[in-house]
Structure 1
């Protein structure tokens, strides 16, 4: 679904899973600085949107998700995961309840698989699940933004900013002189996400990722709630073991023009480029202040002070998930 904001001057389409919205509008660093200063907005209209209605919606979701949502107050934002039976992450949900409806946004293209799973688990519960992606678009306002939001728009507010569930027909009204200020592309949004050490499904995850590896315990996984699929793995790692991998933040050598793409193998610098792989880059970006930075998954037993190589690019690590 192509965003109408791609017709704005300077707009360059994003690539990969973010295709359909602008990667940038001609000045990546200016857009990053604007978001960091609390101005402007990000078009995230490529993300999937779904709603859950019905009297049992919160109690039912509580049984299926990793987060405690049975008593979620209206207007309080949270995030949650759907795990496989083995505890591997399958879906990440960003949600808010408005008093009658749970609004959720998810990674682009994942809503149909999520809806299929939810439909299979309805049983006798009084709930209705709907794909609203054709009707509503996600627009992000950064933390500190004072832009007014129409009263009829559902807002999901966190410490990172506000996610608006905006009627898709209103997207065309947004521009540099619109109600939210100048637009910023998803590359600027991603740079601030990496700086904030926030994992993203399909980027920091693979087919065997468990929540402990990414630091999603607490923010997306509640450890004192009832049973859900995959809980046994979460409890076992929490009480008896340690995750096999851990998320790290990398400062990449700024002298390199090339950013190592997702999947680039990591090795200890002491072992050289032919050494044994100990992890891989998950997201790499250019930051307006920090320069080239990245998130990566590495083996838990790699020393926290070990210098790394991403292919041939030197990388210094900062701990996100403690070993």
Structure 2
């Protein structure tokens, strides 16, 4: 949503706008809003999301051939997620996918919608598909249990996408430790509504939360987001995205060779971690802030003072969680020791951080191919 088009939710008490989208960042109490959102008592206007539709009898097989998920058998009402990779396997676009039997609905980052739609349109060739951006459709986020939001149903099926992040999708694989995975309580869903209906929803008694609340819950669930966790080098393995958006046994698609090679024979060069941040200075890191190994930045009076920092990665997202306090997601080098204390350079303040492993250094090499001895080597 453009900031030039005021959201009807701006009339709600305490409304504070998110600079990038114009929708609510919060309504005065982000921590309380998190509690209500997580408990299924509040909705969030997802102005960072946009909608693309694909129609025509070839739509699902066509999307299946282009992207990382198996979609040609997607049943009406079934939710899925897929990635568009470049030929080298790097992530270019991500989409939540829902089909109603007539139309496939793609929910994407609003900043990437135009570019993604244009790329898809160029790839139609002679296939029976039509691609369209849908600015007339808005996205409302909520967790299981919320009542009072009526979904669009142009073809008789309510358009509600349910995020499957909490479980490993068929054909996918998880790198994160499943028994301790925080996504077990992640029941997030996105409902498509007419943009004209937003005013009625905004004036309803349904409680609302801002984007800050949603971001904090997303980070705590280790859920990657294209606009923040992905850069020009990202491959799905680094973000544990093989669990929900990649089918390892489907047919060919762009970037498949890299996906298979890294998963079966290699290791992703970087890995996603969650950071538990020291909040004593009341400084929250920003996207792109440098992450270093603690102790490589020598403090005044220490032996070796002035030693250069050993930088290992960058913060991708950060928030204050209503239970966990200040937290962040970061992408670090695979070689970063899992037990190393870290420090984030945030606003010229060194913020101490304890890391929680999401993608372990051992991720990949699933084929377990034994190393062959070198020619001429003597066995002892």
Q: Calculate the TM-score normalised by the size of structure 1.
A: 0.95
Which one is further off, 279-288 or 140-149?
140-149
How do residues 36-55 of structure 1 correspond to structure 2 at under 5 angstroms?
36-55=38-57
Is the CA contact 1:20–1:46 (under 8 Å) kept in the aligned structure 2?
A: no
Match of 1:145 in 2: 146
Match of 1:169 in 2: 196
Q: Indicate how the Cα distance of structure 1 residues 61 and 320 shifts in structure 2: closer, same or farther if over 3 A, else same.
A: same
- 1:44-79 per-position Cα deviation (integer Å, ceiling 9, x unaligned): 134221101110110000001100001001111111
| Equivalent residue in structure 1 for 2:216, among 185, 191, 194 | 191
Match of 1:114 in 2: 116
| Equivalent residue in structure 1 for 2:9, among 5, 8, 23 | 5
Which one is further off, 204-213 or 115-124?
115-124
Is the CA contact 2:43–2:208 (under 8 Å) kept in the aligned structure 1?
A: yes
Task: Give the deviation of 1:240 after TM superposition.
Answer: 1.2
2:326 and 2:145 map into 1 onto residues whose CA distance is 25
Task: Give the deviation of 1:303 after TM superposition.
Answer: 1.1
How many residue pairs match? The answer is 318
- 1:236-255 per-position Cα deviation (integer Å, ceiling 9, x unaligned): 10111000000000100021
| Equivalent residue in structure 2 for 1:66, among 65, 68, 75 | 68
Match of 2:160 in 1: 155
Task: Give the deviation of 1:112 after TM superposition.
Answer: 1.0
Kindly report the root-mean-square deviation, in angstroms, between the aligned alpha carbons of the 2 structures: 1.4
Task: Give the deviation of 1:143 after TM superposition.
Answer: 2.5
Show structure 2 runs of 5+ residues with no match. 165-186, 299-307, 362-380
| Equivalent residue in structure 2 for 1:216, among 230, 238, 241 | 241
1:204 and 1:41 map into 2 onto residues whose CA distance is 24
2:340 and 2:152 map into 1 onto residues whose CA distance is 51
Is the CA contact 1:266–1:308 (under 8 Å) kept in the aligned structure 2?
A: yes
